[in-house]
Structure 1
């Protein structure tokens, strides 16, 4: 059954992989013949045939968009073209602005305006947005004029004009940015889950604070990505406010990162991280005041936040190198990989911000996902290690206690000194040889050793006059002696951390033929632990000097076990012990 179970587990994994493969195929395949029709989201681009008039009066014909020109604050560029004949009522046109004011005129009539100045009194320059305008019947073949006013002295980008029916013009933007929004939403969700997880484990796991700070970083990054998304105009009713919110978030990001690093590195370098956190907080506070007083906007002071982000990254790297040299990195070896990935992704994110060759937030978002995964794995590993340490400590203390008790028991019986210790050792050796037969684990073998130490604890309740009697016991005395199995089981009734303890103590005198005591169990009714303890106990009795006889020879022991195979002893256990004696693994 175990082999079948293992095969089924593998098969279910293959089924899961097949399902994932089909999911990906369904997402990206072009084979859509016979699928349900979802309507048209077609849009067109008006990229060619533009006339560009620059601020100095220079006119360039037949310009293809996108195109770049250097421009100073307040410079006005004019783009003109002829609208396609097919446009009609319900057609919408769109052009992306990058820190510019865009005014759209059709046949001399104002149709749309996107202002990047004094936007609701909140922010002077929204980083990017879309100028949207509706067309009418009769606009086809007419002139379209787009007036672009630069808000900053920088390279001006003139993006293609997109047109389509209704809100279809948004579809390309949504399609291009949906992956980014999914990443951002996943970050916010994962961060929220991490905070809830922290609330449950904060009193139980030392590294829980690190999960909290990482959750803050993830939520901040996710909200920043959404707030700065190119499609924020259809996400937020007030994208200008969302942009202010985004800059406030991103300027705080390095502070939460420093808190996370400090926690993971167990506050060894808090003289580095805490001042960093204080400086970053002060910088965010100052930048906020400057922005809302109209002195300097967030977009300009953002470079200082980036500087402190770089310093935080370098501090994290330096502290990791120090931990490597001090051999302390092993304390967080798994999460260290995630930290390196995050540091690299944050560096890429800064490069992307200034170079502008990829979508903002992708690198940092993926890096944070990897860091969350490694942090979770590290936390689980540490929790398991702590549980294992406690288990080993508990086993060590239990073993020491049992050995003390066993010594006390054996001291009570002047003729069986060391008997309990030897029975435990013999039982463990036999269990090791029979591990495959009975599917014993290392823990099982350790437990049977402990049970062997305690198997005669019930002799505490047997009178010394009976226990140390030199002659043959009367029937009454023998019945008293047999009670030690029941007494021992009752004594141990409150000990629950050693599985099989009470059963082994109670049944180590049961016989395979059912003629043992105290319950007269037979065959498979007797647990494997009790079967092994039965023969280990008898083996020590046969190989030790007793008051009523001397120790048996090797041949006598072999003969005695063979004779009682299938009656007193379990056949498979007896066969194992006989083989071990013959191979010299049990000395007698």
Structure 2
């Protein structure tokens, strides 16, 4: 049956693999020519043959775009191109403003204007955005003229310009930005999930606060990436407001990142981080006031935000180095790896913004935060395992103390058998060690047998003192009461489940190999293995100590009793091993 189950599992896995292959083909290849027509999403790029008219009147022809041009801030630069013959009704021209004011003319007719004075909110410059211009049949072959100016920036960036039917003009932009948007949404979802996790573990896990601050940082970064995305006009109804939102987020993200680091590093550098957060807060408040009053735009103070972010990165790097020198970093090793990666990717994000601009804004920061999340998750799991292991060791230590106390209490109750439970535990441990390889006993198993040996007579607490301490042999009625100690002990331990075999050992250590024991009359290997070991250890101690009705037996007599009762009272194999231990001086 198991072989057939294995075959079924393999068959279903193969079917799943085939289904994945079909899925891949369906996504990337059209196999059947009879599929329904979905139209075209193509757009046409106007990237060559442009004429540039500089502010001083100088003309440069046959120029390719995109490109950046240095001009005096506020001056007007114009670019011209002849629209292709395939331009017609239903088409749109698409171009992107990187904070430049723009006016679009076709055949000297103004078709679109994007100016700062059109905004209700007082601001120094326009928000970067896509400008769409409706085209018509009559525009084919006409001169397209775009006038650009940047009131506060000496650089005018001429981006790609394309045309297509309807909103197909958006598809090239979507294709360039969809990965960034996906990562941003993923980060927001992961951050929200992490906050939900925090709400469940905050009272149970010491590292919960670091999860909370990390989640906030990831959400802030994700929201910033969305609000700074080139697709924000598609995402937000008020892109200019999302622009303000994005600048506020970028200014506080360093503060939340430092809160996370402070928590991970157990507030060892709290003064440094607190000072840093205070300065960032003052700057944020000042920038909000200056922006609302129209003195400066957020963009104009962006370099300050990046400066504080860079300083935060340097501070975090410094604290990591300090913790590496002192050895504190070992406590959060995996998280430290994630923090180092975040430091690297954050610096690359700033370098990319100011110098190379080869990937979308926020992409590198997002990758760094997701890497940090991965390593933080590993660290939390490791910390939980360590915490659980420590609790287990503490519990074992507490149990050891408890067992010793209970064993002493039991032995004190029976004045004729002082130290009996301790000795039974010791003999049982020796026998367990002797057969450990044969039965596959681990160190924990051997310790468990020792504990059970100390607890085996726990139920005698419920036996009347007059029976327990009677001078002479017990009557049948008294012996029936004495036999109840196995069941009493078993019931007392019903809530103790962290020591395997404890209850079975306590209940069955008076069972006999031939089935004549109590309380259940178990026979042979139906008797739990721990109980068979305890039976020998218990009987050996009984024979080698003085009792009220006899003196302890000699070594030769003990060996004779063990030989005589193996296969009757004792497991014959375990009895042979124990006899060998006695003869070898181990016991």
239-248 or 526-535: bigger deviation: 526-535
Cα distance in 2 between the residues matched to 1:15 and 1:194: 35
Q: Which residue in the other structure is 2:31 paired with?
A: 33
Q: CA deviation at 1:175?
A: 1.2
Cα distance in 2 between the residues matched to 1:436 and 1:32: 64
Q: Which residue in the other structure is 2:586 paired with?
A: 587
- What does 1:494-513 align with in structure 2 at a 5 Å threshold? 495=496, 497-513=498-514
Cα distance in 1 between the residues matched to 2:24 and 2:576: 59
- What does 1:344-363 align with in structure 2 at a 5 Å threshold? 344-355=344-355, 356-363=357-364
Structure 1 pair 276–483 and aligned structure 2 pair: CA distance change class (3 A): same
207-216 or 165-174: bigger deviation: 207-216
Cα distance in 1 between the residues matched to 2:449 and 2:188: 51
Q: Which residue in the other structure is 2:89 paired with?
A: 89
Cα displacement string for residues 411-454 of structure 1 (whole angstroms, at most 9, x for unaligned residues): 44455443322322343455556667767665444333222111
291-300 or 98-107: bigger deviation: 98-107
Cα distance in 1 between the residues matched to 2:249 and 2:14: 42
Q: Which residue in the other structure is 2:80 paired with?
A: 80
Structure 1 pair 4–195 and aligned structure 2 pair: CA distance change class (3 A): farther
Structure 1 pair 385–80 and aligned structure 2 pair: CA distance change class (3 A): same
- Aligned length, in residue pairs: 582
- What does 1:178-577 align with in structure 2 at a 5 Å threshold? 178-355=178-355, 356-414=357-415, 416-431=417-432, 442-462=443-463, 467=468, 472-493=473-494, 495=496, 497-523=498-524, 525-541=526-542, 548=550, 550-551=552-553, 553=555, 557=559, 564-570=565-571, 573=574
Cα distance in 2 between the residues matched to 1:575 and 1:123: 96
Structure 1 pair 351–18 and aligned structure 2 pair: CA distance change class (3 A): farther
Cα displacement string for residues 357-391 of structure 1 (whole angstroms, at most 9, x for unaligned residues): 22111111111112222223323332332333223
Q: Secondary structure at the match of 2:45?
A: strand
Tell whether the 8 Å contact from 2:127 to 2:240 is kept in structure 1 after alignment: no
Tell whether the 8 Å contact from 1:489 to 1:503 is kept in structure 2 after alignment: yes
516-525 or 62-71: bigger deviation: 516-525
Tell whether the 8 Å contact from 1:342 to 1:364 is kept in structure 2 after alignment: yes
Q: Structure 2: 5+ residue runs without aligned partners?
A: none
For the pair 1:131 / 2:143, whether they are aligned, the reply is no
Q: Secondary structure at the match of 1:267?
A: coil
Q: CA deviation at 1:298?
A: 0.6
Tell whether the 8 Å contact from 2:544 to 2:553 is kept in structure 1 after alignment: yes
Structure 1 pair 83–500 and aligned structure 2 pair: CA distance change class (3 A): same
Structure 1 pair 571–312 and aligned structure 2 pair: CA distance change class (3 A): farther
Tell whether the 8 Å contact from 1:118 to 1:124 is kept in structure 2 after alignment: no
Structure 1 pair 170–471 and aligned structure 2 pair: CA distance change class (3 A): same
Structure 1 pair 281–175 and aligned structure 2 pair: CA distance change class (3 A): same
Q: Secondary structure at the match of 2:316?
A: helix
Q: CA deviation at 1:508?
A: 1.2
Q: CA deviation at 1:58?
A: 1.0
Compute the RMSD of aligned alpha carbons: 3.5
Q: Secondary structure at the match of 1:138?
A: helix
Cα distance in 2 between the residues matched to 1:430 and 1:11: 46
392-401 or 272-281: bigger deviation: 392-401
Structure 1 pair 552–83 and aligned structure 2 pair: CA distance change class (3 A): farther
Tell whether the 8 Å contact from 1:126 to 1:243 is kept in structure 2 after alignment: no
Cα distance in 2 between the residues matched to 1:16 and 1:378: 37
108-117 or 131-140: bigger deviation: 108-117
Q: Secondary structure at the match of 2:138?
A: coil
Q: Secondary structure at the match of 2:139?
A: coil
Structure 1 pair 392–313 and aligned structure 2 pair: CA distance change class (3 A): same
- What does 1:18-167 align with in structure 2 at a 5 Å threshold? 31-34=29-32, 38-115=38-115, 119-121=119-121, 123-126=123-126, 128-167=128-167
Cα distance in 2 between the residues matched to 1:112 and 1:271: 54
Under a length normalisation based on structure 1, what TM-score does the superposition of the two structures give?
0.88
